[in-house]
Amino acid sequence: MPRVLVTGFAPFGGESVNPSWQAASLLAAEPPAGLTVRAVELPCAFGTSLTALRDAVRTETPDLVLCLGQAGGRPGVTVERVGINVDDARIPDNAGRQPIDEPVVPGGPAAYFSTLPVKACVAAMREAGVPAAVSHTAGTFVCNHVAYGLGHLIATEFPRVRGGFVHVPWAPEQVPDGTAPSLPPATVAHGLRALLATAARTPAGQDLKVTEGATH
């Protein structure tokens, strides 16, 4: 039975919850059929988040790793295509650090692509009734730090693991006035179950040949 590690972040930026961790917890409590899922909360902090991720991968020995993060303002679940080797924080992390134009991994490649079938994953979530899209930027905060860091771990230490990063919208409780898009964590988890089932059965290196590009 394929083993899946799902991570979410602790709340940050003054929030009391983080929907990425809410969704990760729901996935672990009710995994897709045929998969075992373990959820681990990462600190929303540069450096220590990657240490926690590496420790979790070593402990859980997963076949798939799905790292989740919050993307407030996005209307749907977005599967990140690429993580880039730069930390450029608009706000401090939970440890008070605010790196500017620093590499995630000194001397590392400019970027790592997700090793999940990103387009097939998006199609699976849409088929499950959950709004989803391919994203071509994970930002330059701790989410991208982990997206790139996961790619580096796979490339250098865990070559048999496949993984990627997914952003989830705010939870409704974070926007009680309804002035921004949100999705219930249970809805997000429903879509992510379809994503994981699709990723698990799609051979490495294969994906749908459909357009999910962007002009800007």
Structure tokens given for 19: 């929907």
Phi, psi of 69 (to 5 degrees): -145, 165
- Catalytic residue, chosen from 80, 121, 145, 190, is 80
- Catalytic residue, chosen from 67, 121, 152, 167, is 167
- Whether 185 and 171 have beta carbons less than 8 Å apart is answered as yes
Does residue 80 have an active-site annotation? yes
In 81-136, beta strands by DSSP E? 82-84, 111-113, 132-135
77-80 sheet: strands from edge to edge:
36-42, 3-9, 64-70, 162-168, 77-80, 132-135
- Catalytic residue, chosen from 44, 67, 121, 143, is 143
Does residue 136 have an active-site annotation? no
Does residue 167 have an active-site annotation? yes
Cross-strand partners of 167? 69, 78
List the catalytic residues.
80, 143, 167
